Amino acid sequence: MEAHPLKETVRVYFPVNCFCCSWRLPGCRPALAREVLTMALIGIGIILGLFGLCFLFIDLEERL
């Protein structure tokens, strides 16, 4: 049986109901939302970490 397209993308895409038939992963929405939120937070965390390094560089320069 061919997998529903969302099953292929569920781990990588923002949680969406299927755009054509509004199909939703049965019973998995809270877990899915948690997973996506976690992924988004990891991305934001990496961005903040990289910018934190740059801000830190400005403040550390005085010690050179």
Partner 1 sequence: MNEVIVIYAVTLLLAWPLGKYIAGVFNGTRGTAGAVFLPVENGLYRLFGVNPSQPMSWQGYGKALLKLHLVLVLIVFGLLMAQGFLFLNPDNIDGMSWDLALHTAVSFLTNTNQQHYSGQAQLSYLAHTFGIVTLQVVTPAAGMAALVAIVRTLLGRADEKKQPAGDGAVSVGNFYEDITRAIVRVMLPVAAVVALIIASQGVPNSYEGARTAIPLDQTAGMEEQNIPIGPVAPMVAIKQVGTNGGGWYGPNSSVPLENPTPVSNFVQTVSIVLIPAALVFALGFMTGRRRLAMVVMGVMVAMSVSLTSVAIWSENQPNAAFSGLAAEGPNLEGKEVRFGATATALWGSWTTQTSNGSVNGMHDSFNPIGGMIPMIDMFINVTFGGIGVGLIGYLLFLLLAAFLGSLMIGRAPEIAGKALETREMKLVCIALLIQPLLILGFSAVTVAFPVLTGNSNPGFHGVSQVIYEYTSAFANNGSGFEGLGDNTVWWNVTCAINLALGRFIPILAPLAIAASLAAKRSAPEGRGSLAIDTPTFGLMTLAVIVMFTLLSFMPVLILGPIAEALALMS
DSSP state, residue 8? H
Please give the single-letter amino acid code of residue 33.
A
| Smallest distance from partner 1 to CB 9, Å | 7
| CA–CA separation, 25 and 39 (whole Å) | 18
| Smallest distance from partner 1 to CB 44, Å | 7
The site for partner 1 (CB under 8 A) is made up of 9, 12-14, 16, 19, 36, 39-40, 42-44, 46-48, 50-51, 53-55, 57-59, 61, 64
Q: Which is nearer to partner 1, 26 or 63 (CB)?
A: 63
Which residues, at least 6 apart from 11, have a Cβ–Cβ distance to it below 8 Å?
35
